[in-house]
């Protein structure tokens, strides 16, 4: 490949490209975990590979830094695997197709994995270096961050200790994060009974597509549409105005990605086909008007397709009600930080399995009780539709710390090296720092990263020049911890 050859910083780009060749979707991290272990052994570094496949690599301080505070550089090895709907690509075997376009690294139709591959590449470059002055370094690379933070939850505290933790999972240069939202995974299961398609009905596949999608934390306030919520509106309109029945449905990619594609089976009485087509055209016009600026590419299409069975009327009503009622988008805004989402919910995955329609959501909040309140509302929906609601993989918020030496040091270094003020902020997206506080103790933490955008979508891209600037900034910060 060598798509990034010649780009700076050379070591970071080399390791990043190597990572893009290795399958590392959430739950499929064995190969990349083994790669990191082999990297550590090749460089004579102490390494621990935990049973869950977290990797911890330890490097002593360089001469003059032997007794300095120990710094943990932390990121996650897994990525969100999303591609363009029409692209023939297998995340379990195909290397990510890198494209360099001006100042950006992109792909040819898949997620890039800069979230969080750039963090791992920076950490590897420092661990492999012979000429970078630094205090004792621990590289902590976790698994399963994108699918529920299972790696950091499984982290054995006996394997790691330090004084400062620099999380490298942020996405905006010049901004240092000092707190983040907590979250929980939600699964609402609506039971469905099926029956044969009535006589005189024709089967169709109904598709809602063309949406931007996006990160359910970073883009949740962009007023983008959610394909699952739109399908609920389409189905409600159809069953109200047309003689039709609904069947199995599926859509969305990941719980923490705003759903950009969804499809469902419908059966329409032949006498109502013209009304069916007209109704779909009308509702697409409504969507295109409502999202003319925020999400202008929405498409509602149908194609003839075999439908073996449909939901009975009671089940169909319950499914549509759940899809219409389940919360999506910001639920409250912060009073303390202007423009910051305080709590939100994203219904990211829709499936029909084992006699149930399942709606999976990512719930986030920087206030724990508000996270519980959203969960309680979904539990109420479950009661109304005779369904079940399950919560898993809850992770804590990361509260702001009034006193922070690493934060103050970064502010000084950033001002001296750029002439600009470092912005200290909070993020609505989840970071592993909340769990790390519980696992490693109340150590000094901060989160930084280069400019990247459209993460968790096939349009994900990262700035080459920003990677170089942030890496140099990180090296200068490490140099001053002595």
Active-site choice (78, 169, 263, 460): 78
Residue from 154, 148, 146 nearest 185 by CA: 148
DSSP letter at 131? S
Cβ(457)–Cβ(213) below 8 Å: yes
Residue from 329, 395, 331, 392 nearest 189 by CA: 392
Residue from 114, 21, 228 nearest 457 by CA: 114
Residue 31 is inside which H or E element, if any? helix 30-42
How far is it, in rounded angstroms, from Cα 187 to Cα 379?
Answer: 10
How far is it, in rounded angstroms, from Cα 227 to Cα 395?
Answer: 26
> Residue 288: phi, psi to the nearest 5?
-65, -30
Token readout for 193 is 């009974």
Q: Is-cis flag, bond preceding 159, omega within 30?
A: no
Residue from 393, 423, 433 nearest 147 by CA: 393
Q: Which residues pair with 76 in a beta bridge?
A: 142
Residue 154's CB: how many other CB atoms inside 10 A? 17
How far is it, in rounded angstroms, from Cα 283 to Cα 279?
Answer: 6
No. of H helices and E strands in the chain? 11, 22
How far is it, in rounded angstroms, from Cα 118 to Cα 19?
Answer: 9
State yes or no: is 145 an active-site residue: yes
Active-site choice (17, 145, 169, 360): 145
Cβ(333)–Cβ(243) below 8 Å: no
State yes or no: is 78 an active-site residue: yes
Tell me the catalytic residues: 78, 145
């Amino acid at each position: 490949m060598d798509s990034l050859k010649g780009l700076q910083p050379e070591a970071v780009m080399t390791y990043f490209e190597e990572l893009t060749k290795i399958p590392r979707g959430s739950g499929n991290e064995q190969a990349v975990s083994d790669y990191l272990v082999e990297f550590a052994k090749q460089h004579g570094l102490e390494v621990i590979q935990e049973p869950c496949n977290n990797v911890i690599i330890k490097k002593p301080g360089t001469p003059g830094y032997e007794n300095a505070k120990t710094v943990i550089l932390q990121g996650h090895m897994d990525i969100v695997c999303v591609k363009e709907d029409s692209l023939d690509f297998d995340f379990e075997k195909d290397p990510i197709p890198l494209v360099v376009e001006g100042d950006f690294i992109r792909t040819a139709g898949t997620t890039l994995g800069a979230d969080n591959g750039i963090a791992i590449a920076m950490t590897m470059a420092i661990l492999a270096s012979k000429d970078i002055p630094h205090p004792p370094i621990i590289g902590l690379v976790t698994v399963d961050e994108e699918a529920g933070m299972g790696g950091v939850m499984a982290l054995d505290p006996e394997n790691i200790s330090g004084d400062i933790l620099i999380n490298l999972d942020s996405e905006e240069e010049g901004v240092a994060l000092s707190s983040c939202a907590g979250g929980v995974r939600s699964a609402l299961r609506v039971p469905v009974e099926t029956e044969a398609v009535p006589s005189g009905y024709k089967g169709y596949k109904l598709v809602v597509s063309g949406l931007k999608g996006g990160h359910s934390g970073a883009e949740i306030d962009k007023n983008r549409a959610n394909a699952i919520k739109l399908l609920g509106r389409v189905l409600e309109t159809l069953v109200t105005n047309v003689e039709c029945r609904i069947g199995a449905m599926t859509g969305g990619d990941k719980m923490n990605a705003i759903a950009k594609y969804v499809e469902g089976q419908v059966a329409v009485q032949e006498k109502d086909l013209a009304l069916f087509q007209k109704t779909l055209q009308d509702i697409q016009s409504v969507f295109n008007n409502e999202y003319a600026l925020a999400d202008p590419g929405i498409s509602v299409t149908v194609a003839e397709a075999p439908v073996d069975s449909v939901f009975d009327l009671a089940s169909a009503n319950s499914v549509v009600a759940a899809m219409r009622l389940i919360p999506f988008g910001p639920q409250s805004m912060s009073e303390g930080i202007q423009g910051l989402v305080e709590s939100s919910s994203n219904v990211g995955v829709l499936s029909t399995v084992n006699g149930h329609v399942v709606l999976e959501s990512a719930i986030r909040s920087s206030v724990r009780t508000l996270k519980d309140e959203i969960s309680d509302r979904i539990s109420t929906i479950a009661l109304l539709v005779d369904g079940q609601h399950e919560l898993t993989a809850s992770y804590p918020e990361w509260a702001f710390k009034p006193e922070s030496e690493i934060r103050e040091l970064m502010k000084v270094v950033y001002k001296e090296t750029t002439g600009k003020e470092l912005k200290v902020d909070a993020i609505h997206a989840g970071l592993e720092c909340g769990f790390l506080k519980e696992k490693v103790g109340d150590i000094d933490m901060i989160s930084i990263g280069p400019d990247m955008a459209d993460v968790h979508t096939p349009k994900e891209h990262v700035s080459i020049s920003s990677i170089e600037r942030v890496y140099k900034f990180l090296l200068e910060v490490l140099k001053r911890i002595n």
